[in-house]
């Protein structure tokens, strides 16, 4: 059978179209990866191999231009049916998506809550910082109040000490006034007796008969009576600015004038009473000794290059004599917790406990080379001494700075540590300590920071004492800082290059 050329062309086109449809089906399977993803978790049903498509009929049509496939297979492959997604699977997927959405919303809410918590934590931290600053401020205020109260307590204790000192001085003045009043009564009685004697003598003279040639009668001698004006007694009180001169001199004048006996009638003649007061003034006690005054006692001293007069106690018995006592502690009768002005002028009783005065020390020790002798005694009767080859204090412009020389003795050296230090009192702080050593040591001294010796401290009876601070009369190298000595004497003498 002969086939024409147009018929061959038509057969070729039909077979090409069929091949194109089969290839399109294969490409269609590759074009749906999502379906394979949806069936990844399930077993896929086995698919029978596709059967080759066959054309049932062959049409011969007139020759025309072919624009598409002529033979189309209307059957879908089983693989495509297997890859289809069912409605139930879509609902399950939607349910999973809803659950995930709800979890995401829950997480968002948690994030929002956590953000609020973070903000609250930030606010709490800020408030904590504010509270810390406020607590610090309150603590500083409390500390300031504590310091202020402590200062007030210290001022109160100082005020109480001053009140006690003034009370003691007033009692002393009262006793002196009573003694002077008693003396005045004695003098008034003496004057009355003398008036009575004079009246009796005048009456006796008038009763005597007149003789023609009278012999000159022997003179009738009347006992000498000191001229004391009869006037109201006006006591004088010592001033606080010159406490050393007035208080000490008034004590000695009081002791130098004992009340005279009450005479009745003159029985004889006697000369006016004389005093044992030595001549003077002297440069120091050694000069008094060189002029023949070998008895220990009160002497009037006038240092060179000054018109300053002072009463001192001269110790002429302590070998070799000529010692000027500048400080003495023996019974605790005098309070040594004084201010700067009092330590400058001096205080106490010359024949008892006293401090000569920083200004007096300056004038005494700067007229020559003097040495210092410190004699101490504890409560068991043991006596020791400490001697320094030189002793001098600077003027007040240098706050009476201490200068001591080489040590010698058996008490131990507790003063060299204070060498070159300025004098400190409760109202003038010149020590090396951050606080005021005079407040803690309860005295005045050449404190360093603070003391190895405190001879102007509190006199405690019995030696060992209990106190918050070491404020007794102590010499650290002798009995330690917690032992208050019984007796202490500080004396100076011109240095003859010989030790005691």
Write the pLDDT tens digit of every residue in 209-242.
655 444 443 333 333 333 333 333 333 333 333 3
Confidence at residue 117, expressed as pLDDT on a 0 to 100 scale:
83
Considering only CA atoms, which of 367, 368, 387 is closest in space to residue 376? 387
Helix (H) or strand (E) holding 95: helix 87-207
Cis peptide before 281 (omega within 30 of 0): yes
Q: Sorting pLDDT into bands at 50, 70 and 90, what band is 313?
A: very high
C-alpha distance from residue 178 to each of 122, 181, 227, 247, 352 (Å): 83, 5, 22, 16, 21
Q: How confident is the model at residue 53 (pLDDT cuts 50, 70, 90)?
A: low
Parallel, antiparallel, or unpaired for β 354-355 and 407-409? unpaired
* pLDDT score of 39: 44
Sign of torsion, CA 8 13 18 19?
Answer: positive
Strands 383-393 and 402-404, by their bridges, are antiparallel
- Cis geometry, peptide bond prior to residue 320 (ω within 30 degrees of 0): yes
Average of per-residue pLDDT across 304-323: 90
Torsion angles phi and psi, residue 272, rounded to 5:
-60, 150
Residue 27's alpha-carbon distances to 68, 75, 115, in angstroms, are 18, 16, 52
Sign of the CA dihedral running 160, 163, 167, 172 = positive
What φ, ψ does residue 144 adopt, rounded to 5°?
A: -65, -40
Q: In sequence order, what DSSP letters do the residues of 388-405 get, joined into one string? A: EEEEEE--GGGTS-EEE-
Contact 317, 214 (CB under 8 A): no
Query: Distance of alpha carbon 205 from its chain centroid, rounded?
Result: 85
In the predicted structure, residue 494 carries a pLDDT above the cut 60: yes
pLDDT band with cut points at 50, 70 and 90 for residue 486: very high
The average pLDDT across 153-179 equals 87
Contact 248, 309 (CB under 8 A): no
Residues 6+ apart with CB under 8 A from 102: none
Q: What is the phi/psi pair of residue 252, to 5°?
A: -70, -40
The three-state secondary structure class of 323 is strand
The predicted pLDDT at position 12 comes to 53
Closest residue by Cα to residue 324 from 348, 304, 301, 294: 301
Judge whether residue 167 has pLDDT over 90.
no
Q: The tokens of 46 are what?
A: 């086995």
pLDDT tens-digit series, residues 106-161: 888 888 887 778 888 888 989 888 898 889 989 898 988 899 888 888 888 888 88
* Phi, psi values for residue 264, rounded to 5°: -105, -65
Place of tokens 């003391």: 451
Q: Are 495 and 365 in contact (CB under 8 A)?
A: no
Residue partners of 426: CB distance under 8 A and separation at least 6: 158, 337, 338, 339, 436, 438, 439, 444
Instruction: Report CA dihedral (100, 104, 106, 108) to the nearest 10 degrees.
Output: 180
The confidence band for 24, taking pLDDT boundaries of 50, 70 and 90, is very low
Q: What is the rounded distance in angstroms from the CA atom of residue 344 to the CA atom of residue 425?
A: 10
**Residue 55: pLDDT band by 50, 70, 90 thresholds?**
low
419 neighbors 380 (Cβ within 8 angstroms): no
- Angle CA 142–146–151, to nearest 5: 145
Residues counted in the chain: 500
Summarize the confidence of residues 331-349 as an average pLDDT.
95
Residue-wise pLDDT for 362-405, tens only, equals 999 999 999 999 999 999 999 999 999 999 999 999 999 999 99
Answer positive or negative: Cα dihedral of 366, 371, 374, 375: negative
The DSSP H or E segment spanning 36 is: helix 33-38
Phi-psi region of 461 (alpha: psi -120 to 50; beta: other; left: phi over 0): beta
Contacts of 15 (CB under 8 A, 6+ apart): none
Tokens of 471: 């404020």
pLDDT in tens, 413-444: 999 999 999 999 999 999 999 999 999 999 99
Hey, how many other C-beta atoms are within 10 angstroms of the C-beta on 443? Answer: 26
How buried is 283 (Cβ within 10 angstroms: 0-12 exposed, 13-18 middle, 19+ buried)?
middle
Residue 303 CA to residue 310 CA, distance in Å, equals 9
CB count, 10 Å around CB of 441? 26
What is the predicted pLDDT for the residue at 322? 93
Percent of the chain whose pLDDT exceeds 70: 68
479: nearest Cα among 496, 455, 456, 498: 455
């Amino acid at each position: 059978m002969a086939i024409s050329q147009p018929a061959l062309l038509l057969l070729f086109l039909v077979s090409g179209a069929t091949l194109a449809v089969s290839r399109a089906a294969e490409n269609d399977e590759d074009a749906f990866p999502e379906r394979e993803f949806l069936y990844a978790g399930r077993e896929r049903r086995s698919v029978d191999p596709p059967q080759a498509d066959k054309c049932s009929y062959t049409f011969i049509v007139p020759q025309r231009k072919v624009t598409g496939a002529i033979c189309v297979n209307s059957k879908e492959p089983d693989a495509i049916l297997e890859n289809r997604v069912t409605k139930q699977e879509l609902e399950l997927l939607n349910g999973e998506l809803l659950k995930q959405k709800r979890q995401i919303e829950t997480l968002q809410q948690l994030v929002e809550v956590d953000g609020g918590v973070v903000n609250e934590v930030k606010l709490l931290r800020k408030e904590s910082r504010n509270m810390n600053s406020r607590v610090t401020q309150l603590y500083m205020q409390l500390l300031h109040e504590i310091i202020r109260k402590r200062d007030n307590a210290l001022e109160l204790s100082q005020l109480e000490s001053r009140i006690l000192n003034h009370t003691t001085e007033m009692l002393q003045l009262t006793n002196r006034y009573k003694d002077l009043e008693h003396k005045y009564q004695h003098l008034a009685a003496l004057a009355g007796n003398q008036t009575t004697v004079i009246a009796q003598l005048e009456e006796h003279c008038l009763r005597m008969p007149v003789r023609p040639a009278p012999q000159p009668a022997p003179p009738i001698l009347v006992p000498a009576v000191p001229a004391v004006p009869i006037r109201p007694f006006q006591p004088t009180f010592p001033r606080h600015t010159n406490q050393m001169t007035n208080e000490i001199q008034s004590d000695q004048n009081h002791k130098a004038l004992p009340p005279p006996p009450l005479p009745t009638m003159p029985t004889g003649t006697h000369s006016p009473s004389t005093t044992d007061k030595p001549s003077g003034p002297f440069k120091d006690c050694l000069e008094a000794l060189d002029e023949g005054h070998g008895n220990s006692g009160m002497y009037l001293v006038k240092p060179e290059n000054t018109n300053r007069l002072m009463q001192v106690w001269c110790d002429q018995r302590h070998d070799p004599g000529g010692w000027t006592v500048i400080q003495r502690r023996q019974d605790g009768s005098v309070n040594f917790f004084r201010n700067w002005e009092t330590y400058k002028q001096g205080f106490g009783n010359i024949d008892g406990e006293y401090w000569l005065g920083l200004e007096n020390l300056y004038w005494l020790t700067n007229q020559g080379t003097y040495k210092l002798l410190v004699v101490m005694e504890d409560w068991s009767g043991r006596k020791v001494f400490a001697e320094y080859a030189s002793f001098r204090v600077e003027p007040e412009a240098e706050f009476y700075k201490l200068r001591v020389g080489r040590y010698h003795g058996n008490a131990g050296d507790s003063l060299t540590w204070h060498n070159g230090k300025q004098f400190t009192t409760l109202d003038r702080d010149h020590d090396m300590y951050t606080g005021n050593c005079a407040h803690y040591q309860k005295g005045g001294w050449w404190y360093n920071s603070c003391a190895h010796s405190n001879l102007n401290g509190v006199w405690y009876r019995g030696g060992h004492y209990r106190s918050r601070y070491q404020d007794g009369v102590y010499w650290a190298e002798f009995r330690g800082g917690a032992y208050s000595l019984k007796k202490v004497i500080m004396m100076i003498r011109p240095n003859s290059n010989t030790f005691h």
